[in-house]
Structure 1
Amino acid sequence: MAEHEEKKHEESLMDRIAEKIQAHDSSSSDSDNDKPSESTIKAKVFHLFGREKPVHHVLGGGKPADIFLWRNKKISAGALGVATVIWILFEMLEYHLLTLVCHLLILALALLFLWSNAATFVNKSPPRIPEVQIPKDPVMEFAQALRFEINRAFAVLRDIASGRDLKKFLSVCGLLVPSGYLFCLITCRLFI
């Protein structure tokens, strides 16, 4: 019974489509008001689901949109491959970012060492590694600012400990006691 209703629905749909096509063919008038303009036809063709902007424009245009829409297949496949390798490293193999960075730095250092030693045998110039030096003035300014802040914190702690400001003393005690209990709970959990 359900198949009979489905066939009836399909036939009525086909009949309606055929009527629309015949009505469109038979009513050929020369007036421009009856014909849809080219912009509405393009809007229906390029903008699915009633969108007003193309997908490329919605994604921001340019190279990122090209990658997402697979217009440049080599770059899109490369991005997908890199994302897959990263996912496999971090999720499946449970690799950590800091470990990865350290291993990459060790690999780069080993390659530079081998390149500089092999350069003499191959008669090529060794890699030019720039000399890095930290300037004295910014480091001294940072150390002086840090020293000033540490001395100021010690002065505040001395004022609190001496009992000159009772309100500050009680608020610090109120903060330190719960945090001390929390610290004890955490350390007990770690070692039990």
Structure 2
Amino acid sequence: MGEPRQFSVHLALGGGAVADVLLWKKGYQSVTLLVVSTALWFIFETAGYNLLSFISNALFFLAVILFFWAKSAALLNRPLPPLPNLEVSEDVMLRAADETRLWVNEALSLAHDIGIRGNLRLAVQLAIGLWLISYIGSLFDFLTLAYIGVLLSLSMPVLYDNYQDLINEKMHAAYKLVQIQYRVIDEKVLSRISLPVSKEKKIQ
């Protein structure tokens, strides 16, 4: 018998250029993303540079460079700047709207389960999740969190891709421990608390 087939991290990440960058299959692009994100974080966090001023100055210098490039190309008979067709297609907007609709419906379904059906377990899980997000947000600002997200995106997928068996074993053990603790809390606390379920009025 052969070895069990491993989970394809590359396919889970979409199997395209983004997956290649996150899994370091295109080392130059991965290093570029790491260096650029580190430089931006250093500029804004350590040097105290303002984000709005940075974007404004960057766009200003880009516009100046493109203007002089186009003028010099006309005078020296050189090719124009290789700019792509800068427009958002209708298909992209429809896919973005459809994805947004799914997230909004999921949030509304969650609110319905908590507010109408009185799902206590779901309410407790949501409260704990929001508290964790609030606590982590109090430790770092948004830019630092984004930078940490980039670092995790460039490290966690490739680590999991290389050490799937060991990580799955540890995650399975941690999941079983969390299940045991959740059962204890469920039996001692949640099972003794009941939320009143609102009754819908009959329309005659």
Using the size of structure 2 for normalisation, the TM-score is 0.32
Using the size of structure 1 for normalisation, the TM-score is 0.34
Does 1 or 2 have the higher relative contact order (CA < 8 Å, sep 6+)? 2
